[in-house]
Amino acid sequence: MSVERATEVMTRLWDSGHSDIGMMAEDVVFTLMATGQEYRGREGVSQMFEYFYRDAFDARAES
């Protein structure tokens, strides 16, 4: 993936408040590098984002 495409995808995700997961592959895997814990599939990654950004921290991605 080019830098431009990666930037486009990440901007779309941030601008949606991490709710637009349509650009993720059905078999996406998100790994927390500090723990090795994995979240699998769009729904699993979406739930991780929900917890991480809305429960664990009160955060917003802004550009």
Q: Where are the domains of the chain?
A: 3-56
CA 61, CA 14: separation in Å to the nearest integer? 6
pLDDT category of residue 61 using cuts at 50, 70 and 90: low
pLDDT tens-digit profile of 30-59? 898 999 999 999 999 888 888 877 777 765
| pLDDT at residue 40 in the model | 96
Q: How many percent of the chain have pLDDT more than 70?
A: 90
**Whole-model pTM?**
0.62
Q: If you count DSSP H runs as helices and E runs as strands, how many of each does the chain have, helices first?
A: 2, 2
Q: How many percent of the chain have pLDDT more than 90?
A: 21
